[in-house]
Structure 1
Amino acid sequence: MKRKGRSVILSLVLLVSGFLISFSYQQTKSEPEMVQLNDSQWEKEYFYQQQLLDMEERNKELRDELKSKREDIQGYEKEWADREQVVVDFVERKKKLQMLAGEIPIQGEGVQVTLSDAAYIPEEDQANQYIVHESHIHKVLNELLSAGAKAVAINGQRYMKDSYIACTGPVITVDGVQHPAPFVISAIGDSDVLSSSLKLTRGVLDQLGNENVEVKITEEQRIEMDARLSTEG
């Protein structure tokens, strides 16, 4: 009987021991394995890590270089745009100067002043006192230019600051070109200002009327003038 009891106890001990050994083995399999690297593998791992660090550093350098190049390009674009604007401004200024110098045609709003000989000449007076003279034309020209006229023409011929006017009887000569009466003086500029300047009390209009010159002033929305006549040849 004692022998049978010992056998049962021994069997139970063996069963428990087997269970513990099996449980420990399963736990060992479920845990992550530690990777053991030899010297050659460590060298390769270090080499790849260094390569990766070098590539990241190079990428950073390239990004900085790209940013710098973009800033340079933006600077060049701004410089070119500024230069282009300078050229545009220069061309526009040159064009305005050419217009003022009479080298190219010009157009714009303004006024037209027509000077005519008197329609009636008393028998007892001299006819020379009732016709338009160069002094009358100069009065109108000076007033228009003082009022800001950008361009002036006499019977369609551009008048410049260095032009000369001569009077020969009923004919006016402008830079060697003869013009018969009536004389139409055109001026490009602010039509209201130009017209008001001529009509001032005791101004040009009143003076010409007192000197027996018939005057007609009209404001025009568009006046076209040709370039100055060439005196060469």
Structure 2
Amino acid sequence: MKNKFTNLLKGGLVLGILLLALSTNSLMAQDDDKFSFDVSLNSDQFFGFYPFFQGAYSLSDKSAFTFYGILWSGGTGGGWGNWTEFGVGMNFDVADGVSVNPQIGILGGNLLSSGTAGSGRFGDGVVPNLTVNLDKSKTEGQIYAGFYAPLRNEAPTGGTTLSYLHYWANFGYKVSPFISLGGHFEHLINTGGSAVDSSTDVYQWLGPYIQFSKPSGGPFARFSFGTDLVEGNDSFFKLTTGFSF
């Protein structure tokens, strides 16, 4: 009788564990449906090579918590104290195919707080930014604006802090689910610093882009190129490839 009771208890325990595992997997599957993640690899002649990631966790049909990171240190940022950016925000669907995503980021490095002088440090600067995305059946586009402000002054004697305004806008037409064509405009401005009297244009890019995407979603590749409108500069090129999970 004791053995039968023990076996029954073991069987009930195993059944309970299986039911718990099934229910947990079901809950996790539901949570997985709320989570999305994108990774891209980017290269241009100013920032060099820089990986980028962004993620979102849906809170409702119209809103989601978002986070992102840019590993500027992969390119030019390697000389800016291993420059790195990480931020969080909220995304809101404001119309069919249109979303607005305000975020705020924190920087590590030395570009803003000391004008690239000294070693990299956490809290190099702060980046309030806003992204507007367009994704419809036949059109796509994005508007971005971010202000890079130093959080403190670590500049040596005779040096300066730096601040920047970075923004872009692009718009394209989906020729098919596989290919899209459009135009890209991007502007980087050195807005000043502790020893900088006036703002200056770093670059001002304008030109077309072509993008190839897997029709069912996932991998994509985009190439943008054109002219630099800043006097003394020549042309620009930007290559991006990535994957959406």
Q: What TM-score comes out, normalization by structure 1 length?
A: 0.28
Q: Larger Rg: 1 or 2?
A: 1
Q: What TM-score comes out, normalization by structure 2 length?
A: 0.27
